[in-house]
Structure 1
């Protein structure tokens, strides 16, 4: 929990490896102090790789094929079409960049 409580489910990570982070916590008298809190391993993995997910969501938001529908499978299908179109746009750009040798 940082600013809001969040839930994560994983079968890959162990629950806790001993890592802590410092967070501000307000005492009853109104003063704030930094307190070490335990950070689950899954949160560390999420933070490490969330940049790709955020970039993907940002690109999906600019050119959306989503249309309103009451049928859930159609919404899932529209999302998959949007992801396929985004990936088909990004793959040639990424392969051209790697063939030139730049990051």
Structure 2
């Protein structure tokens, strides 16, 4: 009797991109922002896909990593702005 095999996934192989100082810094920034925003797992991958079209930093070139960092910065800024507005409303300052 043969063992059942699992279906093959259509997972994209990560290209072997050189780890330049800029790439390393961008990777660190994207991951730090994601952690700050509380993004993990599927939510993290969905945000990356929305920002760059790729679900993983390993699949991104430096330009895509830069776009991901900019997008996450914008999300962080939006969250901070919303928090400030909520405080102003709560205390009747707005």
Measured against the shorter chain, the TM-score band is: 0.3 to 0.5
- Scaled by the length of structure 2, what TM-score is found? 0.35
Whose relative contact order is higher, 1 or 2, with alpha carbons under 8 Å and at least 6 apart? 2
Larger radius of gyration: 1
